Chains A and B, each alone.
Chain A
Amino acid sequence: MKGIISLCYRKVIDASSQKAWDKFVFEDTHLEFYMRAQYFDPKSNYKTLQELLTNVPNAEQIHGMVSTAVIGYLRQLNDIVPDIANTHGKLCLPFKRFRFEIVQSNIQNKAEHKVAIYFYSEPLTWIDTVGDHLLVAYGDQRTALANGGEIETDLIALQPFLSISSLQKS
């Protein structure tokens, strides 16, 4: 038993995203970026995120402002991280915490718009690694394991954009 971990999945959404949920987030965050950019740049001198960050003090607040466009869509996920399935092909990671960032954007060219959402799983008990799969149990099952009882487990493949973001060793 290796410890209690949180997994973090970085979901990138851009013009090439195909899923309906992703497209809604793409459209709404681009519009929100345009709307909020006007707060920092009322004369509309700057068209891209990079220009705003370089030229306007405090413009980094725009990430948080644009994240408001995402909250309604996050609620539709019913606390389950999208895209990350167990070996049964079922979405399996519960989450409550997230982080949002605009990777790049351009008011006049939506094709350049790209955002990322980091989903942080609720605590998992990392029991072992089987090949390139993590053998985990949901929640803190260290006591049950130590007592020798049988616990429910799940197998999750290590995959691109999925990382271990925190570890607490027993």
Chain B
Amino acid sequence: MTVTITIKNKNNSCAALSGALVDIWHCDADGNYSEYGGTGMQSTNYTSVHFLRGRQTTDTSGNVGFTTIFPGWYSGRAVHIHVHIYDSTGKSLLVTQIAFPADVCDTVFTTATNYYKKGKADTTNEKDNVFGDGYANELGTVSGSVVNGYTLTHTIVVSA
């Protein structure tokens, strides 16, 4: 899945915000998050420290792009991608999540069953503890197909 996020600045008439640091992370097809790297009593093999976590910097159009997979789901949560946006100095601007359209999720989880083995997510956006109070601002736009892959686009407004 290709992800394109556009960051706009409320404090600048919603103009694009360039130079912003955007972290995203989400679970794998089974609903598991990668470990953080190299801590605790166990040493970590640094050639495989973490997966499905990344950071990009917005360009002059306020855009960042990621190449990832369609997330899986874990019990109690609707499908989502975590996002943390910082300005260019590292100051935190927003911690948020991206919600997914239900019909796309249902299609993926019942069709691409060689990867997604758990069937439909057990929590809808409406019942989700993060999205349940309304998710119009969090809902991403998803297009594509199981055969061709998916594209997610989303705009997030911050106060920078």
Contact = CB atoms under 8 A, between A and B. Distances in A.
A133 interface: no
B38 A35 contact: no
Nearest to B53: A68
B44 A97 contact: yes
B43 A97 contact: yes
A68 B47 CA distance: 12
Chain A at the B interface: SS class? helix
A51 to B, nearest CB: 17
Interface size of A as a range? 20 to 34
Interface size of B as a range? 20 to 34
B44 A61 contact: no
Interface in B76-100: 84, 86, 90-92, 95
Contacts of B42: 99
A7 B40 CA distance: 18
A70 B11 CA distance: 33
Nearest to A65: B36
A98 B92 contact: no
A120 interface: yes
Given A97-B45, A120-B43, A67 B36 contact: yes
A96 B46 contact: yes
A75 B36 CA distance: 17
A35 to B, nearest CB: 5
Nearest to A75: B46
Interface in A51-100: 61, 63-65, 67-68, 70-71, 74-75, 96-100
A34 interface: yes
Nearest to A41: B92
Interface of B: 21, 35-40, 42-47, 49-50, 53, 84, 86, 90-92, 95
